[in-house]
Amino acid sequence: MTDSSDGRACVLLTLSFEPLAEQIASLRSAVSDLCAPHIAAADELSRLLLATHELLENIVKYSAGGAAEFHLALERAERGLLLRLRTKNRALPERLRDTRQRLDALAAAPDPLAHYDEMIRESAGRHEGSGLGLARILAESEMTLRYQIEREELTIIAEALISERGQP
Amino acid sequence: MSDLTLEANGGGFQAKATLNDSTLSIVFSGSGDLNAIELLADYLKRVHEAATARTISLGHCDFRQLAFMNSSCFKSFVVWIDTVKNAAAPYKIVFLTDPNLHWQRRSLEALRRLAVSIVTIEIAQS
């Protein structure tokens, strides 16, 4: 999986690090500082930050040791800015199965918002975690989600087209 | 003068509830992230116990100083609303939001859809 920029990038950030909970707020703040000058609407920036936060928490909670990757790209596209977030981390087999199930179900849902509402209702009875983090990225951040599993490594990619500041 | 005060404070997250007549007013502030998950889950349990013991009619949640809430903290509100919805004497819940904190509109609308007869969202005048 490659991330090309071809000179279109407003922001391109790749981190490889051993994720810790206390790093999330400062990383989210850095993403805000880097992207805010380029994004037209405060609501779009808020969607980006929500997705950033949930993805970072995901790798903090579910990484099975070793370094994880966080990648952010904000690139000029034909109609606005293409925003791409990508995380990559080692995960335990049960976590990989759970993620696969959730993301496949989200992708297959004829009405993603209704599916999200159903997941919210089900989460009330869950004892471990919320199970809502990735769905929230799709439903509330309005980003597409895809994933790749290679051996024990999980890659999650969230994308959206957003408007560029100063452009009609 | 409040009849009751319930507080939670830790990990960059704060909540304070005061009871006046039959309204329990709760002010949330800081950030609801990984550090606040257990604190908030426990706090909302205590809020519901207090609300039930005193037969309140309204839980008023002021989110104007709550900068962010992650999915786990969001779930604590799901559990609370679900508990209230299924209670013998359900009370109303109002969320007062800041229109400049854009995540609030999306997240709280999802909570409202969970129990439309109980949950209302108010937008503060900016």
Chain center to CA of B68: 13
Q: How far is B1 from chain A (nearest CA, A)?
A: 35
Give the residue among B51, B32, B39, B41 at the shortest CA–CA distance from B107. B32
Taking CA–CA distances from A124, the nearest residue in chain B reads B79
Q: Do B71 and A42 touch (CB under 8 A)?
A: no
A18–chain B Cβ distance below 8 A for any pair: no
Q: Are A53 and B70 in contact (CB under 8 A)?
A: yes
Residue B36 DSSP label = G
Angle among Cα A15, A19, A23 to the nearest 5 degrees reads 85
With helix as H, strand as E and coil as C, how does A39-54 read?
A: ECCHHHHHHHHHHHHH
Give the residue among B11, B112, B3 at the shortest CA–CA distance from A24. B11
Q: Kindly state the tokens that stand for B91.
A: 């009370």
pLDDT given at position A10: 95
Residue A67 DSSP label = -
pLDDT given at position A168: 67
**Percent of chain B, pLDDT > 90?**
92
Give the residue among B14, B122, B29 at the shortest CA–CA distance from B67. B29
B74–chain A Cβ distance below 8 A for any pair: yes
Q: Name the residue among B79, B102, B103 with its Cβ closest to that of A124.
A: B79
Instruction: Give the up-direction half-sphere exposure of residue A151: CA atoms within 13 A in the CB hemisphere.
Output: 4
From chain A, the residues in CB contact with B101 under 8 A are: 46
pLDDT given at position B125: 87
Q: Do A46 and B35 touch (CB under 8 A)?
A: no
> Which runs of E-coded beta strand occur in B13-124?
13-20, 23-32, 58-69, 92-97, 119-123
pLDDT given at position A128: 82
In A23-111, which ranges are continuous DSSP H helix?
Answer: 24-35, 42-62, 93-108
Q: What is the mean pLDDT of each run of 10 residues along chain A (168 residues)?
A: 68 96 95 97 97 97 94 95 98 94 94 94 89 95 96 97 88
DSSP element (H, E) containing B7: strand B5-10
Q: Kindly state the tokens that stand for B43.
A: 């706090």
pLDDT given at position A2: 46
d(CA B73, CA A79): 35
From chain B, the residues in CB contact with A24 under 8 A are: 33-34
- Write down the residue that tokens 């004829």 correspond to: A110
According to DSSP, the β-strands at B58-69 and B92-97 are parallel
d(CA B28, CA B86): 24
Q: How confident is the model at residue B2 (pLDDT cuts 50, 70, 90)?
A: low
d(CA A118, CA A35): 33
Q: Do A42 and B100 touch (CB under 8 A)?
A: yes
Check whether B52 has a pLDDT greater than 70.
yes
Give the residue among A106, A68, A117, A115 at the shortest CA–CA distance from A89. A68
pLDDT given at position A127: 83
Check whether B1 has a pLDDT greater than 60.
no
